[in-house]
Structure 1
Amino acid sequence: MKKFLIYTVKIIVITALIAVILDALYTLAFMQSRNRGKVETVVNSKAKKFDVIILGSSRANNHFVAQMFEDKGLKTFNYGMSGGHLFEASLMLKLMIERKYTIKNVILEADLNLSNEHQAEGIAALFLPYIHNSETIRKHFENEEDYNELYYVPFYRYIKYDGKIGFREAFLTAVHKKTGILDNLGYRGLEKHKNGNMKNNIVNLNPLPHNKYYEEIKNICKANNINFISVMTPMCENVKGMNYFDKVKKAYPEIYNYENVVTEDKYFSSCGHMSDAGSKVFTARILKDFFGKE
């Protein structure tokens, strides 16, 4: 029995040691990354200056053509993250402030994601390699259900989110394998597809009366003298429940409603995402209305 207990203890100690070593190696790889994605580009950066920062979900990533801002003399980057929620958008802005970014304007796509305060696990996971290296990230996750496991258990986060920050991603990061995520100043243009889904139903969607992460973004901008521009972006013609945008306007009167600026299906890749052509029409309107650029 004694030998069995000693053997068991040895296995536990060895397993824990391996977990600690792997955790350190994976984290080291991610801490050296600057060319694969938007999260590590911010985390591993130093102070930068921007005229315009764009935040939000895919409806920001696919809708704001950053190069058009640049062409008008506005230093811009689109930090919209496909699949992301306001949870991640708020954290991105916090990290920029932590790294002493100078930002004149923040454009936030705030419409459908006002209906929840959840993290988008697949996107939130991208911040986890840095949870021990950034107090901002640690605090942002500290109220999540599995915070203790993520923070205190070595290698747990890499196992749980293997598909996002596991071996493959750690390896590709370590060998500095680039992706296209940072191309086009963060903007990802979409093509018009013949079989794109041109119907959507948001009848049961309701904005929260006080979305925590939206308010965080707004307050961060106020505290740092950043001009805050929050907009609702377009959807196609065949949407059921378009009064959702009226609900948003009622709950958050400061948000500008641009959902009907582009409506024709020819400008959409899918019902919730404009094609590159539609995004250029939309971006031109934003430049005109908020920056006086035509």
Structure 2
Amino acid sequence: MNKFLIYTAKIVLLIMLIAFLLDGIYTYVFMQSNKRGKIEQVFSSKAQKYDVVILGSSRANNHFVAQMFEDKGLKAFNYGMSGGHLFEASLILKLMLERKYEIKNIILEADLNLSNDKESDGVSAKFLPYIRNSEVIKEHFASEENFSELYYIPFYRYVKYDGKIGFREVYKIVSNEKTNALDNLGYYPLQKHKNGNMKNNIVNLNPLPHNKYYEEIKNLCQSHNVNFIALMTPMCENVKGMDYFDKVKKAYPEIHNYENVVVEDKYFSSCGHMNDAGAKIFTARILKDFFTTK
């Protein structure tokens, strides 16, 4: 019996040592990465100065043409993240401020994601390699149910989210394989697809009366003297439940409603995402309304 217990203890110890070793190797690799994504770029960066920073989900990533801001003499970058929620938008802003970014204006796409205050597993996982190297990331995840496992169990986060931060991603970093996430100043243009879904139903969607992460972003802007511009962005013509945007305006009167600025299907890749032509029309309107000296 004693031999069995000693053997079992050795196996457990060996597994723990391997987990610690792999955790250290993976984390070291991610700490060297700054070219594959927006999160890595911000984490690895030093103080930056921006006139305009764009935050939000894919409806920010695909709708705000950052180069058009640059053409007006405004240094800009689109940090919208496809699949992201306000949980991740708030965290990436916190990282920027932790790194002493100087930002004059934040444009936040705040519409559909006001209906939840949950993390997006696919996007939030990309912050996890740095959870022990950033107090901001640690604190942001501290209220999540699985925080203890993610923070204290070595290599657990890399196994749980293997599809996002596992071996394949580590290999791509080591191979210096780039993505298009940082192209076009962060803006991702979409094309018109003849088979794109031009119908949507948001009848059952309701904005939370007090979205925690929206309030965080707004308060961070206020405390750091950043001009906060929250916007609702367009959807195609065939949407059921468009009164959702009226509900948002009632709950958050400071959010500007631009859902009907572009409506024709020819300007959309899918019902919730404009194509490049639509995004340029929309961005031009935002520049005119908020960045033109009157």
Length-normalised TM-score, structure 2: 0.99
CA contact (8 A) 1:72 1:293 kept: no
In the alignment, which residue of structure 1 is the partner of 2:72? 72
In the alignment, which residue of structure 2 is the partner of 1:16? 16
Q: Which amino acid aligns with 1:102?
A: E
After TM superposition, give the deviation of residue 176 of structure 1 in Å: 2.1
Q: Which amino acid aligns with 1:73?
A: G
CA contact (8 A) 1:30 1:174 kept: no
In the alignment, which residue of structure 1 is the partner of 2:181? 181
2: CA distance between counterparts of 1:100 and 1:106? 15
In the alignment, which residue of structure 2 is the partner of 1:243? 243
Pairs aligned (count) = 294
Sequence identity of aligned pairs in percent?
Answer: 74
2: CA distance between counterparts of 1:78 and 1:197? 25
CA contact (8 A) 1:191 1:269 kept: yes
C-alpha distance after superposition, 1:254-291 (max 9, x if no partner): 00000000000000000000000000000000000000
2: CA distance between counterparts of 1:241 and 1:139? 36
Q: Which amino acid aligns with 2:122?
A: G
For the structure 1 residues 293 and 162, does the alpha-carbon distance in structure 2 shift closer, same or farther, using more than 3 Å as the test? farther
Length-normalised TM-score, structure 1: 0.99
Q: Say if 2:88 is the partner of 1:88.
A: yes
CA contact (8 A) 1:32 1:174 kept: no
2: CA distance between counterparts of 1:34 and 1:293? 36
Q: Which amino acid aligns with 1:48?
A: Q
After TM superposition, give the deviation of residue 172 of structure 1 in Å: 1.0
2: CA distance between counterparts of 1:293 and 1:113? 31
Q: Matches of residues 182-197 of structure 1 in structure 2 within 5 Å?
A: 182-197=182-197
CA contact (8 A) 1:57 1:85 kept: yes
C-alpha distance after superposition, 1:200-254 (max 9, x if no partner): 0000000000000000000000000000000000000000000000000000000
1: CA distance between counterparts of 2:215 and 2:155? 33
In the alignment, which residue of structure 1 is the partner of 2:142? 142
Q: Return structure 1 stretches of 4+ with deviation > 6 angstroms.
A: none
Query: What are the ranges of 5 or more consecutive residues in structure 2 without an aligned counterpart?
Result: none
2: CA distance between counterparts of 1:241 and 1:169? 39
2: CA distance between counterparts of 1:40 and 1:293? 35
User: 3-state SS of the aligned residue for 1:54?
Assistant: strand
1: CA distance between counterparts of 2:181 and 2:11? 42
In the alignment, which residue of structure 2 is the partner of 1:285? 285
Q: Say if 2:262 is the partner of 1:262.
A: yes
C-alpha distance after superposition, 1:104-151 (max 9, x if no partner): 000000000000000000000000000000000000000101000000
User: 3-state SS of the aligned residue for 2:93?
Assistant: helix
In the alignment, which residue of structure 1 is the partner of 2:223? 223
2: CA distance between counterparts of 1:143 and 1:272? 31
